[in-house]
Amino acid sequence: MGFLTYLINGLSLGSVYAIIALGYTMVYGIAKMLNFAHGDVIMIGAYLVFMCTSNAGMPAIVSIVIAMGCCTILGMIIEKIAYAPLRKATNLAVLITAIGVSYFLQNMALLIFGSNPVSFTSVIPWEGLSFAGGQLKITGNALITIVVCLVIMVVLMWFVKNTKPGQAMRAVSEDRDAAVLMGINVNATISLTFAIGSGLAAIAGALLCSSYPSLTPYTGSMPGIKAFTAAVFGGIGSIPGALIGGLLLGIIEILAKAYISSQLADAIVFAVLIIVLLVKPTGILGKQIKEKV
């Protein structure tokens, strides 16, 4: 029973990682850049939800929608100001700019909200299910998180496969120059990608802080790094890869915490990542691109 509980907790944490990893993997697939500031957008989203629910007394759903709207706009503004001018510059320059944006968001939050952790009230007011006479408990947080993650995945995969903007995204990620020749507005497509990724970040922030309620300006950075790891783990650029990578990472982390050592859990997660990448250098679902002379 203990094992099952850990497994479900792992799936729940993994679902959060998967939603965050989506933001990384889509932006990487389309703009070919590592958006290091993504983790901090999560933190901003969580703070917005916190302000709406705890300070303004709004219902959870409304506050999440507001946070999603704000984060979407924030993501697009960041893209326009900081990343779009560097579209043709080297990847490393964009990476450092993204780091600058990450510092900016963290310190902005530090100024506005202060460094003391605030206690986040869960957006899911449901006790959850109880099986086998209370031996196996599935919290509402865990269950809803997993369901939300799966719904997002299905909707997003449908969106990318079947809609015009989704097809444009795939085209840009495959060959940007050819996409331009086909009349696709690359700038708008990249903007849309940032908008979707940042909107999802707000949901991820709310779900993450529902399970781990201590919220500080630095809350987003470690889950951000881990979700990025998850994206690479599953094969960066692939949406199902983000799901698999995120879930595996969450399960490994929780099981390592439970059975081996809570302090070494992160080290174990990263060690598994290294082993996977050495066996399959482009991640679990990544495509192998042949090198041509």
Partner 1 sequence: MKKINKLALFANKSNQRLFTTILVILVLYVLMTILDGTGNLSSLMKGLLVPVCAYSLVAVGLNLCVGYLGELSLGHAGFMCVGAFSSAFFSKAFVGIIPDVPRFILSLLIGTALAALFGFLIAIPVLRLSGDYLAIVTLAFGEIIKNVINVLYVGVDSQGLHFSMKDMMSLGMEPGGKIIINGAQGVTGTPRQSTFTISVVLLLLAIVITYNFVNSRTGRAVKAIRDNQIAAETVGLPITKYKLIAFTLSAAIAGVGGVLYAHNISSLTATTNTFGYNMSIMILVYVVLGGIGSFSGSIIAATILTLLPEMLRGLSNYRMLIYSVVLIMLMLFNWAPGILKWREAHGIKNFKSILKSKNTKEVQ
Sites of contact with partner 1 (CB under 8 A): 28, 34, 36, 82, 85-93, 95-97, 99-101, 103-104, 106-108, 110-111, 221-222, 225, 228-229, 232, 236, 261, 263-264, 266-267, 270-271, 273-274, 277-278, 281-283, 291, 293
Taking alpha carbons only, the member of 44, 20, 67 closest to residue 218 is 44
Nearer to partner 1, 63 or 194 (CB): 194
Bridge partners of residue 131, in order along the sequence: 136
Q: How far is the CB of 266 from partner 1 (least distance, A)?
A: 5
Burial category of 272 from C-beta neighbours within 10 Å (exposed 0-12, middle 13-18, buried 19 and up): middle
Strand, helix or coil for residue 185: coil
The amino acid at residue 195 is A
Nearer to partner 1, 134 or 281 (CB): 281
Asked if residues 125 and 53 have their Cβ atoms less than 8 Å apart, the reply is no
Nearer to partner 1, 52 or 215 (CB): 215
Nearer to partner 1, 150 or 271 (CB): 271
Structure tokens at 47: 């703070």
Nearer to partner 1, 57 or 281 (CB): 281
Nearer to partner 1, 66 or 277 (CB): 277
Q: How far is the CB of 77 from partner 1 (least distance, A)?
A: 13
Read off the DSSP letter of residue 215: E
Q: How far is the CB of 96 from partner 1 (least distance, A)?
A: 5
**Quick one: how many helices (H) and strands (E) in the chain?**
11, 4
The amino acid at residue 163 is T
Asked if residues 210 and 123 have their Cβ atoms less than 8 Å apart, the reply is yes
Q: How far is the CB of 190 from partner 1 (least distance, A)?
A: 16
Nearer to partner 1, 171 or 232 (CB): 232
CA distances from 222 to 38, 148, 163, 219, 228 (A): 11, 22, 34, 7, 10
CB count in 10 Å sphere of residue 234: 28
Q: How far is the CB of 8 from partner 1 (least distance, A)?
A: 25
Distance of alpha carbon 134 from alpha carbon 136, whole angstroms: 6
Q: How far is the CB of 93 from partner 1 (least distance, A)?
A: 4
Q: How far is the CB of 156 from partner 1 (least distance, A)?
A: 22
